[in-house]
């Protein structure tokens, strides 16, 4: 099992460690709800070094990235990032990712930890006829997500870069905590603001220690993967393996906004996606809030008022901020509209819920 450069810190802090995507990762430190609230109200630090990083370089870099991602890479300028996905050639999704336009002829693709080997093989295969320079740098790069309303104040103490000028989904590469060449990205998976820092493994310990020194005033805490999941779900962010996978199209998942049918964007599966859109979708990923008391869980059936199965829950939890059950799931197309009443099959009970607009938590 792999460790990250921060594993010894997790052990010292008494984290509950579990195997995740081949890594020993902290799932919880001092309670999921308390960790969740810490990020919403102050600042927390996530070790996300298990994520994958792939460089695409050279004169063919743009051609490859444009082919293998659904979003329009031509819209990116230096220092901009873009949420996207890899279509699998069969209408489904290999993975979702962030594309960073690092410099001319150089892109960084940040992919999910559980999909690194699969994604790398897919990228290699698609590159056979293109010939871009590709490098799987996943084992060399560590990543921390510093999230919450006090994240910017915490990190500003460690750099001369004006962090308030780094707008959402943009980034700079510079010096922080005395370390050069750190990617400082205004991205995250929590919906509470903050930054993601990419660094070399050798620099990780110094950056971790400096961040916790800088955040003492705000009682900064390390946060586990369990709270990361409840935070992302309150925002309605998709989780690969739950809400999207090889069998779901980005259009069905509500990701039409990253599926661009613009001139010159000839990505894999474009003809299939255009036909799917023209013919009409059969199912749609929706968000719902529980009306009856209960917690929806992945794979619970979604039924209509007559008890007929109309879909399945893909993600669900008791929202720590809203104090009610929330979830996402695929339903038949006719049940997708806001305020539609649906029922979640919890054992022998059918608990009432309704379709709502995302995000669940609006801060």
Instruction: Indicate the domain borders of the chain.
Output: 7-51+140-234, 52-123, 282-358
User: What's the pLDDT at 363?
Assistant: 82
pLDDT value at position 294? 96
Is the peptide bond preceding residue 359 cis, with omega within 30 degrees of 0? yes
User: In whole angstroms, what is the distance from residue 54 CA to residue 165 CA?
Assistant: 26
Looking at residue 254, the DSSP 8-state letter turns out to be T
pLDDT level of residue 54 (50, 70, 90 thresholds) = very high
Beta bridge partners, 331, equal 284, 311
Report the predicted TM-score, pTM, of the whole model to 2 decimal places: 0.97
- d(CA 78, CA 19) in angstroms, rounded, equals 36
Q: State the average pLDDT over residues 212-232.
A: 98
| Residue in this structure with the two tokens 């049918």, named with its chain if needed | 261
Convert the pLDDT of each residue in 73-94 to its tens digit: 999 999 999 999 999 999 999 9
The CATH number given to 52-123 is: 3.30.70.1400
Task: Map tokens 């594993």 to a residue.
Answer: 7
CB burial readout 98-132, b (16+ within 10 A) else e: bbbbbeeebbbbbbbbbbbebbbebbeebbeebeb
Cβ atoms of 49 and 202 closer than 8 Å: no
CATH code of the domain occupying 282-358 = 2.40.30.110
- 272-323 pLDDT, tens per residue? 999 999 999 999 999 999 999 999 999 999 999 999 999 999 999 999 999 9
Over the stretch 145-199, which tens digit does the pLDDT of each residue have?
999 999 999 999 999 999 999 999 999 999 999 999 999 999 999 999 999 999 9
Q: Does domain 7-51+140-234 have CATH number 3.30.1360.120?
A: yes
Look at the block and give the residue holding tokens 């994958």. 52
Number of H helices and E strands in the chain, helices first, is 8, 19
């Amino acid at each position: 099992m792999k460790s990250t450069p921060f594993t010894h810190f997790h052990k010292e802090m008494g984290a509950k460690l579990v195997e995740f995507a081949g890594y020993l990762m902290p799932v919880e430190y001092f309670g999921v709800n308390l960790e969740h609230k810490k990020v919403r109200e102050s600042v927390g630090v996530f070790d996300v070094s298990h994520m994958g990083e792939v460089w695409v370089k050279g004169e063919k870099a743009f051609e490859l990235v444009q082919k293998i991602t659904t979003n329009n890479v031509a819209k990116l300028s230096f220092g901009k990032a873009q949420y996207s996905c890899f279509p699998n050639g069969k209408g489904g999704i290999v993975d979702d990712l962030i594309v960073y336009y690092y410099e001319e002829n150089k892109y960084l693709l940040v992919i999910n930890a559980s999909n690194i080997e699969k994604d790398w093989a897919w990228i290699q295969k698609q590159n056979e006829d293109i010939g871009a320079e590709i490098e799987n740098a996943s084992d060399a790069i560590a990543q921390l997500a510093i999230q919450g309303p006090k994240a910017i104040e915490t990190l500003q103490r460690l750099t001369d870069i004006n962090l308030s000028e780094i707008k959402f989904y943009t980034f700079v590469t510079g010096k922080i905590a005395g370390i050069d060449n750190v990617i400082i990205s205004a991205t995250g998976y929590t919906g509470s603001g903050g930054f993601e820092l990419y660094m070399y493994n050798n620099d990780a310990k110094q950056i971790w220690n400096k961040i916790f020194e800088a955040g003492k005033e705000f009682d900064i805490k390390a946060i586990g993967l369990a709270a990361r999941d409840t935070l992302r779900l309150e925002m309605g962010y998709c989780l690969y393996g739950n809400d999207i996978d090889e069998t779901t199209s980005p259009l069905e998942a509500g990701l039409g906004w990253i599926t661009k049918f613009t001139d010159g964007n000839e990505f894999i599966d474009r003809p299939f996606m255009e036909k799917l859109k023209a013919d009409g979708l059969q199912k749609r990923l929706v968000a719902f809030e529980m009306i009856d008391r209960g917690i929806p869980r992945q794979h619970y059936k979604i039924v209509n008022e007559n008890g007929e199965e109309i879909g399945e829950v893909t993600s669900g939890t008791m929202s720590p901020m809203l104090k009610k059950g929330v979830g996402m799931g695929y339903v038949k197309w006719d049940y997708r509209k806001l305020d539609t009443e649906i029922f979640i099959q919890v054992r022998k009970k059918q608990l009432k819920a309704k379709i709502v607009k995302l995000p669940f938590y609006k801060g």
